[in-house]
Amino acid sequence: MKAYRYLTGTDDAAFCHRVTDALNRGWQLHGQPTLTFDQKRGEVICGQVITKEIVDTQYDPGMDLSRL
């Protein structure tokens, strides 16, 4: 099974730690990161797609992808 996640968050150290944690758990970056500016909050918002191959697992819509 190939799992997909799109991480988003404020462009800060916490977002970088989330991506780093995912990479260290076997997820891989997919494509380019995205950036946008939220005028209401006055913050830059980042987005990054990550994917992961999971062996011997069938996809189930109820699974918690953040725990893979």
Question: What is the tens place of the pLDDT at every residue in 7-59?
Answer: 999 999 999 999 999 999 999 999 999 999 999 999 999 999 999 999 999 99
The answer to whether residue 44 is domain-embedded is: yes
Sign of the CA dihedral with 17 first, then 65, 2, and 26 last: positive
The whole domain housing 28 covers: 2-57
The answer to whether residue 49 is domain-embedded is: yes
Give the total number of structural domains in the chain: 1
The answer to whether residue 40 is domain-embedded is: yes
pTM: 0.89
Report pLDDT for 63: 95
The answer to whether residue 27 is domain-embedded is: yes
The answer to whether residue 28 is domain-embedded is: yes
The answer to whether residue 66 is domain-embedded is: no
Mean pLDDT of 2-11: 97
The answer to whether residue 16 is domain-embedded is: yes
Distances (CA, A) of 50 to 6, 36, 38, 43, 44: 6, 18, 23, 22, 20
